[in-house]
Structure 1
């Protein structure tokens, strides 16, 4: 239930202890069994507190709403329980997983602690790829759409969520595979002027999870610095992210593909991979474009195998 609502389990216990908003049925072993009417009350409680209603007042209103719903044949608890709490203060998610809805609700409430817990759980349970594609990315896109359609409102939601996602991705989660031996590092960087680095951070986390050596140079990386990094690191490949068309696309391609590394007489070149919709109109990079996190990892693994 905590995951579904996007609150901490301690919050649910507090609501039950202080305001009587809890499960109607308990089974052996002190387990809670949440019935449809319980879910209606909890979702209404979550919706109202997200709007700033004091918890005691929200609890009274939630009990009334659940009672009214149970009396209305057209709005039986089982039907009402499927709605997303928050009303106009929710993010436009569409059909998504319950964990995604919980994350969105916590973000709208600006409940940083709950967001952090939900993100760590999502990554632990699903791995970086599953968490990013099925839970994190849909919530980020919804926050962006809400911000775009509401002027300057909800920008605080988008910024808080982005920061906490970045923090969760960069925490050192235990690799699911042992470190790869004999593999040259993979260099990740954003194109010059590109400040949106979260998708690249997700790739960094996924590569790290797979035990692959990776060096992240972050947002707005200059062309000259990228060429120098290639010469000094000698990477197996370089991934450059661009959400908008890079102003120096040709220079970026030349800087990576023209750089050589290794001992004299046995110089090597690095493979350039590009990611992000900004590269859609750059023909020279068309055959080496990553189109998603999961498929991109597959392409990287395929190239490493050769």
Structure 2
């Protein structure tokens, strides 16, 4: 996939490898009905029709509709956006008039599905965001879906928000809500864990509200058939202690997004929780995750591990169950 994001850079270049309307809609983050409407009203659509019936999209066809998506996301009326998209020279003039795409997001080298998700979010097109997320998880699963589609889109919108004041807060909120919702709806069923296996307890530390990465980890563990107990944002220390004591988890994952919420005393508190009969007491493995925790070796209690990355975190936790 090209890093520049130029229209058609990652799409088929010949009719034999052309795409269906449904595939193009999923990758661009728009509804198929929207594409058909644009074709009917403005002439933005595939030129080739297979066997007189089925529309097939070439890279040139996709480039035109991609340009129209970009312009409508900037607030250009659809009719004008279509006219500009159909005239390459006019498209360049339009970009100059709009000051170099002020509404564009800096995504870098990402999957086309990520670009489609970001475009849909910027347009505040909730149905398209939902459809893109469902399609991504159905095709790639939670791990790749989070690492290569959802997280890059969220980070790009977060950077745009930080550089534009409050202008993009509504975009970030809408996308975060839909990502959170879809992460809680498994797209498949992993192998069920034995009933006697102690679950993994996952929670944000007190004062921490950033839950999406932890929700992604919970979803991946569920996809792998590992039992979990997710407590979400800002669980008070006393409540965490009681939950660990009552559940007797195999592991506890403490998420901290910022240095200000990463609390060493809390780690020591959790590592000290024990349960079971006298002479056979046990305690959980304690894992810290998130950018707030120190990377220095030995920064926490003996045996405490710092998780890095969604895939490696899930692998490490799965290894605990296998040991």
TM-score, length-normalised on structure 2? 0.84
Distance in 2 separating the partners of 1:52 and 1:253: 49
Q: What does residue range 132-281 of structure 1 map to in structure 2 within 5 Å? A: 132-247=146-261, 249-280=263-294
2:73–2:123 contact (8 Å) kept in structure 1: yes
Q: Deviations over 1:96-150 (max 9, x none)?
A: 1111111111111111110111111111111111100111111111111111111
1:192–1:223 contact (8 Å) kept in structure 2: yes
2:262–2:293 contact (8 Å) kept in structure 1: no
The structural deviation recorded for 1:247 is 4.6
Q: Which residue of 1 aligns with 2:72?
A: 49
2:258–2:293 contact (8 Å) kept in structure 1: yes
Distance in 2 separating the partners of 1:176 and 1:276: 26
Q: Deviations over 1:156-186 (max 9, x none)?
A: 1111111111011012433233334432111
Match of 1:107 among 121, 130, 142: 121
Q: Deviations over 1:259-287 (max 9, x none)?
A: 11234443211111000111116701685
Q: Is the partner of 1:189 in helix, strand or coil? A: strand
Q: Which residue of 1 aligns with 2:307?
A: 290
2:29–2:117 contact (8 Å) kept in structure 1: yes
The farther-off stretch of 153-162 and 273-282 is 273-282
Structure 1, unpaired ranges of 5+: 70-74, 76-85
2:286–2:304 contact (8 Å) kept in structure 1: no
1:185–1:213 contact (8 Å) kept in structure 2: yes
Aligned length: 290
Match of 2:111 among 97, 105, 115: 97
Q: Greater share of helix residues, 1 or 2?
A: 1
1:180–1:212 contact (8 Å) kept in structure 2: no
Kindly tell me: are residues 247 and 45 of structure 1, through their superposed partners in 2, closer, same or farther at Cα, counting changes over 3 Å? closer
Q: What does residue range 122-141 of structure 1 map to in structure 2 within 5 Å? A: 122-141=136-155
2:208–2:261 contact (8 Å) kept in structure 1: no
Q: Which residue of 2 aligns with 1:13?
A: 36
1:143–1:154 contact (8 Å) kept in structure 2: yes
1:61 aligns with 2:84: yes
Match of 1:299 among 316, 319, 323: 316
Kindly tell me: are residues 41 and 195 of structure 1, through their superposed partners in 2, closer, same or farther at Cα, counting changes over 3 Å? same
Q: Deviations over 1:14-38 (max 9, x none)?
A: 1112222111111127332223432
Q: Deviations over 1:61-84 (max 9, x none)?
A: 322x24767xxxxx9xxxxxxxxx
2:204–2:233 contact (8 Å) kept in structure 1: yes
TM-score, length-normalised on structure 1? 0.88
Distance in 1 separating the partners of 2:288 and 2:181: 24
The structural deviation recorded for 1:45 is 1.6
Q: Is the partner of 1:279 in helix, strand or coil? A: coil
